[in-house]
Amino acid sequence: MGEVAEFPIGEDAVDGSGEPSRAERIEALRRRISAVPAKGEASAPAPAHSPVERLLPVPEPLTELLPRGGLVRGTVVSVSGSASLLLGLVATVTAAGGHAAVIGQRRLGLLAAAEMGARLSRVAVIPDPGPDPVEVAAVLLDGLDLVVLGLGGMSVPPSRARVVAARVRSKGAVLVVTDGHWNGAQVRLEAQVSGYEGLTGPGRARLCGTRLSVRALGRAAAPRAARIDVCAEPGGVRWASGERRRADAVSNIDVSSTDTVPNLEVAR
């Protein structure tokens, strides 16, 4: 599964006894990130005209919601609601060979991401980015495929958002912002928990899945919505279209037995 690379750079890491300043730590972080093989460990950048290489993969049910079927490199995406959506993005990108960073998300469940297939050795975690998490994100855009930025409730001024968005475009990464306001995101994804699976009656109340209501809003595309099931199965967690999964379940019912419900744990 690998180990997570954690980079503490917040002000509370300084003890006043000659430790490097925050600016020095950010510069050290810049050097470490520059050593990461860029854009999915490719030996050379993908051709700019290649539609496939211009996309980062997403969990399969989300492809139907996004205009291009994935996260377009060089764009800013806003995500709100259930943390499962963030975990699914990190898991899918790193499982496909990309590198990701998670900034300011102390409570994000990396174990759940690993159960979704994430390669934690490809994830850099900055739990405490200090007073300016946007600055840290701008550094990490150089060399990584996906940067998840927790804003901690702050609102980023439009002028600064435009500057960072320009850097996102020039580096060919995807910046995912959450827990705050970012003006000008190309795509907004909103996810809410709408139900659970596995609560089947007395003596059989073991949670085995979470149902999400996900909505995608883009600048140049009509809003789209879908029900998505995050299902615990042997060996990991699977994402499935809610309507399709329930249709499959109905078609596979054994009429001779109505008490066969799988007992699976769901990642939290």
Is 22 within 8 Å of 11 (Cβ atoms)? yes
**Would you state the pLDDT for residue 247?**
46
Question: What is the enclosing helix (H) or strand (E) of 40?
Answer: helix 38-41
**Would you state the pLDDT for residue 44?**
41
SS3 211: strand
**Would you state the pLDDT for residue 196?**
85
Is 95 within 8 Å of 88 (Cβ atoms)? no
**Would you state the pLDDT for residue 10?**
62
pTM, rounded to two decimals = 0.76
Q: What is the largest CA-CA distance in the chain?
A: 74
Is the pLDDT higher at 106 or at 6? 106
Structure tokens at 87: 């975990």
Tell me how far CA of residue 204 lies from CA of 150, 198, 200, 246, 257, in angstroms. 38, 8, 6, 19, 15
Is 122 within 8 Å of 99 (Cβ atoms)? yes
Question: pLDDT > 90: what percent of the chain?
Answer: 54
pLDDT, tens only, 185-199: 999 999 999 988 765
Is 91 within 8 Å of 62 (Cβ atoms)? no
Distance separating alpha carbons of residues 263 and 248, to the nearest angstrom: 18
Is 77 within 8 Å of 185 (Cβ atoms)? yes
Question: What is the enclosing helix (H) or strand (E) of 14?
Answer: none
**Would you state the pLDDT for residue 48?**
44
Residue 138 exposure: Cα atoms within 13 Å on the Cβ side: 14
Nearest to 62 by CA among 93, 40, 101: 93
DSSP strand pairing (123-126 vs 155-156):
unpaired
DSSP for 140-208, written as a single string: HTTT-SEEEEE-TT-EE-HHHHHHHHHHHHHHT-EEEEESSEETT-SEEEEEEEEEEEEE-STT-EEEE
- In what order do the strands lie in the sheet containing 221-233? 5-6, 123-126, 100-103, 146-150, 174-178, 75-81, 187-199, 205-218, 221-233, 236-241
pLDDT, tens only, 39-73: 544 434 444 445 556 899 999 999 999 988 999 99
